[in-house]
Amino acid sequence: MRYLLLCTLIAIAATSCKKEATVWESDWNAPLVNDTLSLANLVNDSTLSVSNGYYAVNLTRSLFDVSISDLVEIPDTTIQKNYPSSVNLELNPGFTYAGSEETYDLELGDVQLKTITLEEGFIDVKLENPIETVVYFIIKLEKVTDDNGIFIRTIPAPAAANGQPGVAEATLDLSGYTMDLSGEFGGGYNQLIADFSVVTDPNGSSAWIYNGDVTRVEATFRDVKIFYAQGYFGNRVISDTTTIDLTELDIYQSGLLDISNLWLNFEVENGVKAGAVANIHMVRNTNKQGNVVNLMGPNIGNDITVNPATGNWGTLSPSLTNVTFNASNSNIEAYVENLGVKHEVGYTFELNPWGNVSGGWDQVFPQSRVRVNLNAEMPLSIGMDALTLQDTFDLTLNQDPEKTRIVAGDLILNAKNGFPFSANITMYLLGANGALLHTIQGTDIIESSQYGVLDANTNVLVQPSEVIFSLPDNVISDINDVQQVVVRAEMNSPNPATGVNQQILIPENAFIEVKLRSEFKTENKF
């Protein structure tokens, strides 16, 4: 509609320029717009589908989607180990003089991990060598393995010089490794066993280590991303409010929309082998007029048990929990008929609300996700009773009375309507501060297709209509004062037998073909 009106008003403002010589009037008849609107391009885009020859709403939206990294996190952890010497000792080449195997507890709060496989992870190592020969730091993680065996790295450190230790730094890549965190005897959790040893260069010379010399090792585990985990993932609560903006509905002004057979479903998908509860605690929408409708029903505000996923690596099957709202258990029809511009959904997902009931056998896999999806489905059976839609846009036009200008005329709208709704269209020309200058009422309405005949090409009823919008000279004379144009359409869905508005299905291939032409009288000055 904006496009139609803009083209028309541009035509009104068309001028040409020449010195005054002769003045005469002429009639102009010109096509402005030829366009067709249908719903075909919305089918199969998660919005519309076709059922039994009629359109149906089939809406799917994701409200919440988290992965393994959102559920199980390992913070950066630094291990520092000092090996002081208490004697003066000459060290032969290849002599192991410092180091030990120890168990380090990872600080993970209430999370108790037994086994993890890393998608990504690094160890930043800093080594300080106090003796005057090259040494080798050997880092061995006995329970960290990949297809090639256990994790072991050797890092050379330069000799000390001038009383300053030799320093070596390195970054070690743990990506793809599996870490057994169950401790030395297999019954623990969050326990990393690491063996550090320091060996003098086998090909070097003998060197002395003195009482008070300190060999230092600092290792920082960072940027750990988990590929797989087994253990107890703790009690995790994820709570948020998602806003869905439907700004297209801000054209709604007044009137009634009647929809039935609607259901709305929230599907909670749990791909983690751990129990949970979900709670949809608020669903509401607000329309352009500020009217708020809260979705009500027994499923609002109550905890809903979400079962763990089942299966394993190649057979993982997420659990699906559905929370459904329909006309029998909620006010879903009133909710949708409010034509909300802003929709808000408040939800909570709580993992392991009952504690470690699995005995540390929670599992999360690479494909594990937790999702909350919104699904809505209904036949597109809509009743309209004086449903008024309105749109406004700015406009600045100027006609020079000393040049060629339009002095009067008509806009003629020819429509072939294949939708079962009628439309009464009115235009309003506004001046400064929104002051109403003129109201331009169509001579007729765009009739509903229910009064038409069957179109052989589309197999839908089609009704032709002609609507004339007159632009007399008093409208044209004020055209320079127009700052905004408002287009208002009052929609109805009448029964052709009774004239009473009713709900009616929209047939597949429904369309409206619009042709807009002008018949203008112009004053020409040359």
* Residue 277 belongs to a domain: yes
- Per-residue pLDDT, 253: 52
Amino acid at the residue 281: H
CB atoms within 10 A of CB 524: 14
Query: How far is residue 495's CA from residue 451's CA, in Å, rounded to a whole number?
Result: 9
Q: What sign does the dihedral 37-43-48-49 (CA atoms) show?
A: positive
* Residue 308 belongs to a domain: yes
Regarding whether 336 and 454 lie in a shared domain, the answer is no
Distances in Å between the alpha carbon of 284 and those of 242, 267, 335, 339, 387?
Answer: 11, 18, 8, 11, 22
- Per-residue pLDDT, 157: 95
Are residues 258 and 299 in contact, defined by beta-carbon separation less than 8 angstroms? Answer: no
* Residue 58 belongs to a domain: no
- Per-residue pLDDT, 95: 94
- Residue carrying structure tokens 């559920």: 71
Give the ranges where 193-234 is alpha helix by DSSP (H). Answer: none
Residue 449 three-state SS:
helix
Task: Considering only CA atoms, give the Rg of the chain.
Answer: 38
DSSP 480-505: GG--EEEEEEEEE-B-TTT--B--EE
Distances in Å between the alpha carbon of 60 and those of 214, 247, 286?
Answer: 63, 18, 20
Regarding whether 227 and 87 lie in a shared domain, the answer is yes
* Residue 376 belongs to a domain: no
Q: Which of 172, 197, 232 delimits the end of a domain?
A: 232
Regarding whether 125 and 252 lie in a shared domain, the answer is no
- Reduced DSSP (H G I as helix, E B as strand, rest coil) percent helix, strand, coil of the chain, to 5: 10, 60, 35
Provide the residue range defining the domain that includes 246: 233-368
Cα–chain-centroid distance for residue 523? 55
* Residue 347 belongs to a domain: yes
Q: What sign does the dihedral 436-439-440-446 (CA atoms) show?
A: positive
Regarding whether 289 and 238 lie in a shared domain, the answer is yes
Are residues 508 and 55 in contact, defined by beta-carbon separation less than 8 angstroms? Answer: yes
Stretch (H or E) spanning 436: strand 436-441
Are residues 378 and 431 in contact, defined by beta-carbon separation less than 8 angstroms? Answer: no
> Apex CA 306: angle with CA 301 and CA 307, to 5°?
165
Regarding whether 291 and 278 lie in a shared domain, the answer is yes
Q: What sign does the dihedral 245-246-247-250 (CA atoms) show?
A: negative
Q: Which of 183, 211, 232 delimits the end of a domain?
A: 232
* Residue 67 belongs to a domain: no
Regarding whether 353 and 453 lie in a shared domain, the answer is no
Regarding whether 255 and 169 lie in a shared domain, the answer is no
- Per-residue pLDDT, 438: 87
Query: How far is residue 267's CA from residue 160's CA, in Å, rounded to a whole number?
Result: 64
Regarding whether 237 and 197 lie in a shared domain, the answer is no
Regarding whether 350 and 267 lie in a shared domain, the answer is yes
Long-range CB contacts (< 8 A, 24+ apart) of 42-48?
48/380
- Per-residue pLDDT, 72: 79
Q: Splitting the chain (526 residues) into consecutive groups of 10 residues, what average pLDDT does each group show?
A: 42 39 56 70 63 75 81 85 92 92 89 94 94 94 94 95 94 95 91 93 92 93 92 90 68 53 86 93 88 90 93 93 89 82 88 92 92 80 69 70 72 85 84 87 88 88 89 80 79 84 81 80 68
Query: How far is residue 464's CA from residue 447's CA, in Å, rounded to a whole number?
Result: 7
Using a 10 angstrom Cβ sphere, with 0-12 exposed, 13-18 middle and 19 or more buried, the burial of residue 114 is buried
Name the pairing type of β-strands 214-232 and 362-364: antiparallel
CB atoms within 10 A of CB 90: 9
Regarding whether 133 and 251 lie in a shared domain, the answer is no
For residues 359-378, b (16+ Cβ closer than 10 Å) or e, as one string? ebebbbbeebbbbbbbbbbb
Query: How far is residue 79's CA from residue 98's CA, in Å, rounded to a whole number?
Result: 16
- Per-residue pLDDT, 394: 77
Are residues 74 and 226 in contact, defined by beta-carbon separation less than 8 angstroms? Answer: yes
- Per-residue pLDDT, 334: 84
Q: What CATH code is carried by the domain that includes residue 89?
A: 2.60.120
Q: Which of 340, 368, 396 delimits the end of a domain?
A: 368
DSSP 57: E
Regarding whether 188 and 214 lie in a shared domain, the answer is yes
* Residue 56 belongs to a domain: no
Distances in Å between the alpha carbon of 393 and those of 289, 312, 340, 482?
Answer: 19, 58, 22, 11
* Residue 65 belongs to a domain: no
Total tally of structural domains belonging to the chain: 3
Regarding whether 289 and 192 lie in a shared domain, the answer is no
Here the tokens at position 6 are: 């803009």
